[in-house]
Amino acid sequence: MNQTIVTTDTPVASTRNVNSHTLSILSKNEPGVLMRICQVFSRRAFNIDSLVVSEGYQRDYARMTIDVSGASAGLEQIVKQVNKLIDVIHCCEHTAEDSVVKELALIKFIANRDDRTEALHVIEHFGGKTVDLTPTSMIAMIQGDSAKIDAAETMMGQFSIIEMVRTGKVVMARGEQPT
């Protein structure tokens, strides 16, 4: 008779020293660069929570904003390894004190005629806009920091959210300091 033995002493990943970090990367705008950067995070057991990549101000370069979660102790090593990649011009971590960090969310929800006034008040409270309206639904656009987007999602939940799309974080250094 075959028996399966389940042990309970299997190590479980601890979330005690795991933090969220926002990194900005300027790289060459070429195929394969993103894959090589993502491999650095994967090898060090960092999870990419959000990733925004776009062509930079100069078309030969790409700007990446990567929000990762992992142990703070390993982040410095990751930044050093990413900076060593041939196609990477610059990689650094940003904090709320030295940068502006924003997200954008589109939230589609059910809103019949009776619910619209209340839905519009919620959207207005979060500084959002209505970007689509049908007889049975609405789409709200909300922008701000992650906590604001989370709060808006919670409040919009009373109207039965159909779907939601978030851009992920985008970051820019404050003042004249380059990102």
Are 165 and 123 contained in the same domain? yes
User: Is 7 contained in some domain?
Assistant: no
Q: Assess contact for 68 and 20: CB atoms under 8 A.
A: yes
pLDDT in the model for residue 24: 94
Note the pLDDT tens digit of each residue in 86-112. Answer: 999 999 998 878 889 899 999 999 998
CA distance 145 to 150: 9
User: Is 43 contained in some domain?
Assistant: yes
Q: Which of 15, 30, 18, 24 is nearest to 50 (CA)?
A: 24
pLDDT in the model for residue 1: 43
Domain boundary among 54, 76, 94: 94
User: Is 1 contained in some domain?
Assistant: no
User: Is 10 contained in some domain?
Assistant: no
Using only C-alpha atoms, the chain has a radius of gyration, in whole angstroms, of: 21
Q: Which of 147, 143, 148, 61 is nearest to 105 (CA)?
A: 143
Containing 102, the helix (H) or strand (E) segment is strand 99-110
pLDDT in the model for residue 84: 95
Low-confidence ranges of the chain (pLDDT < 70): 1-18
User: Is 156 contained in some domain?
Assistant: yes
User: Is 135 contained in some domain?
Assistant: yes
Q: Write out the two tokens for 71.
A: 């142990």
Are 83 and 109 contained in the same domain? no
pLDDT in the model for residue 73: 81
Q: Which of 139, 143, 118 is nearest to 128 (CA)?
A: 143
Q: Note down the domain range covering 45.
A: 18-94
Q: How many domains does the chain have?
A: 2
CATH number at 24 reads 3.30.70.260
CA distance 133 to 115: 13
* pTM for the full predicted model: 0.75
CA distance 168 to 67: 8
CA distance 171 to 179: 8
Domain boundary among 62, 94, 126: 94
CA distance 29 to 88: 10
Are 30 and 67 contained in the same domain? yes
Domain boundary among 94, 117, 144: 94
